[in-house]
Amino acid sequence: MLAKLISFDTTSRNSNIPLIEFVESYLADLGVSSIRVDYESDHKTNLYATIGPDIDGGIVLSGHTDVVPVDGQAWSSDPFVMREHDGLLFGRGAADMKGFIAVALAMVPEFLAADLKLPIHFSFSCDEEVGCTGVRPLINHIKERLPLPRAVIVGEPSEMRVVNSHKGSCSFTTDVVGHEAHSSCTDLGVNAIMYASRVIGELQRIADELKERGDPSGKFTPPYTSLSICMIDGGTATNIIPRQCSFNWDTRVLPDVDRFEVPDRLDAFCDGLRAEMGQISDEASINTKCTNWVPGLQPQPGCPAETLALHCAAANGVETVAYGTEAGLFQEAGIPAIICGPGSIEQAHKPDEFVAASELESCETFMRRLCERCCEA
C-alpha cells in the first residue's frame, strides 16, 4: 500500500486527484463509500470516509496526501518508486505522511470485520505542505453536515509518540513602495530596499526579544516564539533608486502567545518610517499583510483524543513538537485532536526520505487497539 501511495507524485503544485481516485476505488471494492470535498475543483480535493455506524462520537484518522518537492535534491533512487533496504522504506512521503495513510488503508478489512460501536473515519486532505490550506473546507463540511467526531488523530511523523501541543505558524508579506530617482540623487528618491532593511532590522530586534522572553512551559525546541525572513525581492538596476521591495517572513508562535503581537509592533514602528518617506513622496508606503495562519495545538489534558491516543500507543506521557499540523484547525473547530504517527520528522522533506518498517508495525498495533476501543464503546 505504501509503495502504491508513493508512486503518485502528489507534490503540492500537482493535482492529488489520481491518488484520491485510487483510494476511492480501493474503499469501494471493500464496500466503503467516501465523499470528496474539493479545495480546487478538478485539481485538488479531500476525501472523507466512514467505517462503522453513521453516528456522532467517531474517531478521525487524519493525514495529508501532498508532499514537498524533490527538485534539486540528491536522491539515491527514484523518489516516487519505493525502495526497501535494511528494514527502511525509502520514497518521497514515506514518513511525511503516506506511511500513516498506508497503514490506515491496509487496516480497512480488519475494521470492517470488527463489531464497531463507534465509527472510524478517514480524513485525507490536500495542500497541507503549503500552509494547511486544503483541509479547511473539509473541516467545515464535517462540522456543518456530518456526525460530529469525538477525537482526531493526526498521523504526522512522531515516532508513534503522543503529541498534544505544537506551535502555530503565521506567514506575512511586507511590501515597501518608494520613489524612483537617479542613484546620484538620493535626496530626490525613497529607497525601498533601504527602508525594507530598516523594517527587517526591527523584526530582528523583536525576534531577539522573543528569544530572551523564552518559553515559560520549557517544552518546545527552540524554546521561544521564532521569527524568520524567508524571501526578498526588489530593485531594477544599480543606477536607479529602487521603488519596490517585498519580503516574506513568518513566525512560529507558542500556543499561548498572541499571534498579532509581532505584526502590531512592526506596524507601530513603520508609522515613523512612513512619515519620513512621505516628506519626499506621498505615494511611498509600507504595508504588511498576513498570508496564512495555522493555529497552534493547545494542550487539553484528559480530552478524548489524548486519553485514547495514550492507550493505543501504550504511552505514559505526552510531548510537544515545533512543526505545525491540521490538528490546531480541528481543535479550533471544537474537535479535540492529538498527533501520533509513524516515522521521524527528521526524515521529512529530505532526499532519501524513509520510514522504518518497524514504525509501520507499531502503527498497526496502535490501530488495532483503536479498533478494540471502538468496539467496546
Report residue 340 CA to chain centroid gap: 14
Report residue 320 CA to chain centroid gap: 15
The 8-class DSSP code of residue 179 comes to B
Q: Distance (Å, rounded) from C-alpha 165 to C-alpha 340?
A: 11
Residues classed as catalytic: 66, 128
Structural element, H or E, at residue 198: helix 192-213
Using CB atoms within 10 Å of the CB of residue 203, give its burial: 0 to 12 exposed, 13 to 18 middle, 19+ buried: buried
3-state helix/strand/coil string of 302-343: CCHHHHHHHHHCCCCCCEEECCCCCHHHHHHCCCCEEECCCC
Using CB atoms within 10 Å of the CB of residue 221, give its burial: 0 to 12 exposed, 13 to 18 middle, 19+ buried: exposed
